Amino acid sequence: MDPDLGATLHEQITGVVRRAISEGSLAPGERLPTARELAKRLQVNLNTVLRAYRELANEELIELRRGHGATVLAEPDLARLYRLADELLAEAARMGVTRGELAALLARRS
How do residues 33-75 score in pLDDT, each as one tens digit? 999 999 999 999 999 999 999 999 988 889 998 877 899 987 7
CATH code, residues 9-73: 1.10.10.10
Q: Which residue has the higher pLDDT, 33 or 8?
A: 33
Alpha-carbon distance 83 to 21, whole Å?
10
Q: Give 106's contacts (C-beta < 8 A, 6+ positions apart).
A: none
pLDDT of 4 above 60 = no
Round to whole Å and give the CA distance between 47 and 36.
Answer: 9
Which tens digits make up the pLDDT trace of 87-96? Answer: 888 888 888 9
Does the pTM surpass 0.75? The reply is: no
Domain coordinates in residue numbering, the chain: 9-73, 78-108
> What pLDDT shows up at residue 5?
60
Range 12-35 average pLDDT = 90
